[in-house]
Amino acid sequence: MPDKKVKRLVTLEEYIIQAQNRFPGAKGDLSQLLRDIGLAAKIISREVNKAGITNILGFDGTTNVHGEAVKKLDLFADQQLIHALERSQITCMVISEENDGIVRLSSSEGKYVVYMDPLDGSSNIDVNVSIGSIFSIYMRESKSNGKPEEHEALQPGVKQVAAGYVLYGSSTIMVYTTGLGVSMFTLDPSIGEFILSEDDIKMPDKGKIYSINEGSYNSWDLGLKKYVKYCQVEDEKTNRPYSARYIGSMVADVHRTLMKGGIFMYPKSHKYPSGKLRLMYECNPLSFVIEQAGGMALEGEGRIMEVPPKSIHQRTPIYIGSRENVQKVRSFLREYAGREESVQA
C-alpha cells in the first residue's frame, strides 16, 4: 500500500497523458509535441546553467532578422527546439525569431505550425538574469498536404491550440495552456523531470506592480505618461504608489505578472513606432497564457489575440496583466488619445 503521507509527484509526461485521456478521440499528437518541447527545454536549461563554463556566452558574430546581435545560446536553443520538433514528424513548419523565413520540416504532412522565440531576453544572458523560450502552436489550416507556405502560418492568436514558455531562472519552469487553464511545472534537476507545481493558475484581478522601460518616457503617448504618473501617486485607498519592476526579459516580466498580478507594458515609441515585441512568438503566446489565467492583453484598444497578422515577424505594442490594471491603462489611452502634452512656459 502506498504511504498516503508521501506527496505523489506528477511528471509533465504523466500530466500530458492524463489530460489527453480526457478526450477519448485524441490521437496524442499535441501531447507528443508538448513532450518534445519539454525535452528540448531540459537540454537548453542544462546549457544555460553551465554557459559560463562551456564558453557558450557571448555573440556569435552574426545578427538575426531584426538586426540584433545573435548570441551563441540563442542559436543553440533554436537548433535544439527545431531538432525536437523534427523528431516526431507532426510539425510541418517552424517560425523562429532566429530565422528570416519559415523553416520547413521534413514532414510536409505534419498538421502543426509552431512559432517560437528560442531564447527571449537574450541581452540578459551574459549577466545571469532570467531568460526563456516561448512557443505558440497552431493547426495547419490548409487542406493541402503539399509544401507548407508562409501565408498558412498567418493565423490570429485566437486560433492557437497551445502556447507557453520555459523560464530559466532560479529554477527552470515550464508554463503552458491548451485552452483549459494554465499549468506550471518545475524541473527537478536531480531526476531530470518537470514536476507539476501548480495547476489551473489564476492571477490576481489587480496588482500593485507596473513594468515598463521608463527610459522611453519622452516618446510615449500622453495617455501612457498619465497612467504611469497615476501608478506613482500616493493613495492609500487604491494601494498606490505601485512598485516599478522591469527585468528586461519579457518572458520573466510576464511570468512575475502572472504570479503576483500587475501590468507589463511595451508601447510604441520613436525608436519602435510599431512596438518592439513580436506578435506571433512573444505577444500571442503570452497573451493566451495570461487570458487563460483570468488576465487581459491588449495592443492598446483591442485584444492582442485578435490582431490579424500580416507578416511572421510583425511587431506590436502590448499591455498585459491583471484585468483591472489593463482596463485602467486603456481608459487613460482613450481619454488622452490624439492629445499632446502642453508645454509649460
**Which residues of the chain form contacts with ligand FDP (CB under 6 A)?**
120-124, 213, 248-250, 276-277, 282
Closer Cβ to ligand FDP, 122 or 284, answer by number = 122
Q: How far is the CB of 257 from ligand FDP (least distance, A)?
A: 12
Closer Cβ to ligand FDP, 221 or 282, answer by number = 282
* φ, ψ for residue 118, nearest 5 deg: -60, -35
Question: Peptide bond preceding 204: is omega within 30 degrees of 0, i.e. cis?
Answer: no
Q: How far is the CB of 320 from ligand FDP (least distance, A)?
A: 11
Closer Cβ to ligand FDP, 36 or 98, answer by number = 98
Alpha-carbon dihedral sign for residues 133, 136, 142, 143:
positive
Distance CA 297, CA 32 (A): 29
Q: How far is the CB of 318 from ligand FDP (least distance, A)?
A: 10
Closer Cβ to ligand FDP, 140 or 315, answer by number = 315
H or E stretch including 41?
Answer: helix 29-49
Q: How far is the CB of 316 from ligand FDP (least distance, A)?
A: 12
* Contact criterion met (CB below 8 Å) for 129 and 248: yes
Q: How far is the CB of 147 from ligand FDP (least distance, A)?
A: 30
Closer Cβ to ligand FDP, 30 or 312, answer by number = 312
Closer Cβ to ligand FDP, 107 or 122, answer by number = 122
Q: How far is the CB of 131 from ligand FDP (least distance, A)?
A: 8
**How many angstroms separate the first and last alpha carbons of the chain?**
81
Closer Cβ to ligand FDP, 153 or 212, answer by number = 212
CB within 8 Å of 37: residues ≥ 6 apart: 81, 84, 85, 133, 135, 164, 166, 174
Indicate the burial class of 73 (C-beta count within 10 angstroms; 0-12, 13-18, 19 or more).
buried
- For residue 334 the three cell numbers come to 482613450
- Which of 30, 3, 4, 5 lies closest to 19 in space, CA to CA? 30
Closer Cβ to ligand FDP, 16 or 254, answer by number = 254
Q: How far is the CB of 340 from ligand FDP (least distance, A)?
A: 24
* Contact criterion met (CB below 8 Å) for 178 and 19: yes
Q: How far is the CB of 272 from ligand FDP (least distance, A)?
A: 8
* φ, ψ for residue 164, nearest 5 deg: 175, -165
Distance CA 242, CA 209 (A): 5
* Contact criterion met (CB below 8 Å) for 95 and 103: yes
